[in-house]
Structure 1
Amino acid sequence: MVDHPVGVARREENAGSTVAANRRWWDGDADAYHAEHGDFLGTADFVWAPERLREEDAHLLGDVREKTILELGCGAAMCSRWLAAQGAHPVAFDLSAGMLRHAQAGAQATGLNVPLVQADAQYLPFRDAAFDVAFTSFGAIAFVADSARVMREVARVLKPGGRWIFSTTHPTRWSFPDDPGPDGLTATMPYWDRTPYVEVAADGRPTYVEHHRTLGDRVREITAAGMRLVDLIEPEWPAGHTEEWGQWSPLRGSILPGTAIYVCEVDQPR
């Protein structure tokens, strides 16, 4: 059951409180989340963003056949099942047991079985240089206090020259309310204010936490981990796409970028 918040705050939360809050949140919200978004996400499909950019069209992971691929924050692991159908060897993990329960159901429905692991993205339980590619579609990055550590962990488990692609809410959206209508077009928060967004219970406990990093922060995290940014994709809202998802909408999408996709590569040894 979701621990329903009674208020919203901007306050500091450490790694432990963030993990505890978000694990409880996604465990409790997994059924409702998939009831609302399951048709959009599919059972064996790979969508990068609410703008409906698909890996089938974008090819950000490159040729995935026979590649070992790690999915961080997999949710129901529909992206990894799509990759398995393309001949890849994915492993998917998530912090939430509730989400992994939906991943198991997806495997039963499709016959595409992907190894599933419950883990914290800040502490990857995999050996060094185990994967050719790592990715996440809106998973993990915003839901941890130390995203720089996640970058280092990803670099550790990737082979030299390996690719890391992650999509997140576009950092400029932090300045705007989570409103898909006209009220969501007026900036109300400083872009440089990195104080976490926290939903709180009646007793003050955090029930959901998101952490903001600027575009510059992300680039510094990537390079400090021994990777280089090779592309930054800001998908445009496609014509004829009318479906809203939270703050994403045709109105806002026609004016502001909603998603940032970072394409990175691990440095080759010299």
Structure 2
Amino acid sequence: MQETGPGEPVGAALGGVGRRAVGPAESVRAGRSWWDANADDYQAEHGDFLGDTRFVWGPEGLDEQGARLLGEVAGRRVLEVGAGAAQCSRSLLARGASPVALDLSFRQLQHARRIDLAHGTAVPAVQADAAALPFRDGAFDLAFSAYGALPFSPDGGGIMREVHRVLKPGGRWVFSLSHPLRWAFPDDPGEAGLTATHSYFDTTPYVEQNDAGEATYVEFHRTLGMRVREVAAAGFRLVDLVEPEWPEDLAQVWGGWSPTRGRRIPGTAIFVCDRD
């Protein structure tokens, strides 16, 4: 779950932030280098909330242990796309699943290994681009992504097709990401984050770049309709769209996610998809 948001100035200047077109190679390079450089800080700041063996779908804290969006996992081969330190996979391991954690960042996967050593677990980890999964057709029963890969890839449809390919018939694909509606609002946890300042329909990528004009962080926006079309075009059937409400007892502020905003506008969208 990344906390940098889209509500920034338009027209990225050298060494600044803004919106501009970004190709696949540049976005993959930026994603890998950003997460490798920031994985330590990310895990230090958010590790307590994520837990070492907890599976949460987003900043609202919706836990898969109770939500059961993946259905029965015991005895199933499960792929986590954009796994980070594999906290979610480790939770499924404890429930009898056989998970594989995939991430673009080697440093994130090193944190996965660190946590495994601390808990005496062993989640298989693979470093790869989610748009080119290094697995055979029908290798998995289930696949999921909790705020991983999709927001950072220009080829969401390609990721969907790859997940469809590696799933067995009857498999399930569940993914969560920042609710597309959030793109229209500033990434501010306070009252300022409740006023739309940008077009929801503008899908120009958000970019942070260095003084040479090279992207160092990229995030992509798709409307709800665009995500649904990606799901359908890949051959999936959308069976549920979950928009978790902010819990009354949760005071956690995570970047632009907060009680102030979370109780008024949705912060997370979870797509539950079946492969026929």
- 1:135-214 to structure 2, matched below 5 A, reads 135-214=144-223
Q: SS of the counterpart of 1:37?
A: helix
Q: CA deviation at 1:112?
A: 1.4
Amino acid in structure 1 at the alignment position of 2:275 = V
Find the counterpart in structure 2 of residue 89 from structure 1.
Answer: 98
Find the counterpart in structure 2 of residue 250 from structure 1.
Answer: 259
Find the counterpart in structure 2 of residue 224 from structure 1.
Answer: 233
Contact 1:72 1:94 in 2 (8 A): yes
Q: SS of the counterpart of 1:108?
A: helix
Q: SS of the counterpart of 1:193?
A: coil
Find the counterpart in structure 2 of residue 124 from structure 1.
Answer: 133
For residues 109 and 55 of structure 1, what CA distance do their matches in structure 2 show?
23
Aligned residue among 107, 115, 118 for 2:124: 115
Contact 1:198 1:208 in 2 (8 A): yes
For residues 214 and 261 of structure 1, what CA distance do their matches in structure 2 show?
13
Q: CA deviation at 1:125?
A: 0.2
For residues 35 and 219 of structure 2, what CA distance do their matches in structure 1 show?
13
For residues 69 and 205 of structure 2, what CA distance do their matches in structure 1 show?
30
Amino acid in structure 2 at the alignment position of 1:44 = T
TM-score (norm 1): 0.96
* Deviations 1:119-178 (CA, angstroms, capped at 9, x unpaired): 000000000011000001000000111000000000000000100000000000000011
Aligned residue among 226, 247, 261 for 2:270: 261
Aligned residue among 233, 239, 243 for 2:242: 233
Find the counterpart in structure 1 of residue 3 from structure 2.
Answer: none
Find the counterpart in structure 1 of residue 10 from structure 2.
Answer: none
Q: CA deviation at 1:115?
A: 0.5
* Deviations 1:24-69 (CA, angstroms, capped at 9, x unpaired): 0000000000110000001111011100000011001111100000
Q: CA deviation at 1:240?
A: 1.2
Contact 2:15 2:213 in 1 (8 A): no
Contact 2:15 2:212 in 1 (8 A): no
Question: Are 1:68 and 2:77 counterparts?
Answer: yes
Q: SS of the counterpart of 1:26?
A: helix
Amino acid in structure 2 at the alignment position of 1:234 = E
Q: CA deviation at 1:182?
A: 1.0
Find the counterpart in structure 2 of residue 15 from structure 1.
Answer: 24
Contact 1:44 1:110 in 2 (8 A): no
Contact 1:85 1:112 in 2 (8 A): no
For residues 117 and 257 of structure 1, what CA distance do their matches in structure 2 show?
32
For residues 112 and 231 of structure 1, what CA distance do their matches in structure 2 show?
32
Find the counterpart in structure 1 of residue 88 from structure 2.
Answer: 79
Give 5+ residue unaligned stretches, structure 1.
none
Question: Are 1:35 and 2:21 counterparts?
Answer: no
For residues 273 and 108 of structure 2, what CA distance do their matches in structure 1 show?
27
- 1:36-51 to structure 2, matched below 5 A, reads 36-51=45-60
Give 5+ residue unaligned stretches, structure 2.
1-13
Q: CA deviation at 1:89?
A: 0.3
TM-score (norm 2): 0.94
Runs of 4+ in structure 1 over 4 Å off = none
Question: Are 1:106 and 2:135 counterparts?
Answer: no
For residues 199 and 247 of structure 1, what CA distance do their matches in structure 2 show?
17
Matched residue count: 263
Q: SS of the counterpart of 1:50?
A: coil
Contact 1:201 1:207 in 2 (8 A): yes
For residues 15 and 108 of structure 2, what CA distance do their matches in structure 1 show?
24
Q: SS of the counterpart of 2:144?
A: strand
For residues 159 and 198 of structure 1, what CA distance do their matches in structure 2 show?
36
Q: CA deviation at 1:6?
A: 3.9
Give the share of equivalent positions with the same residue, in percent.
60
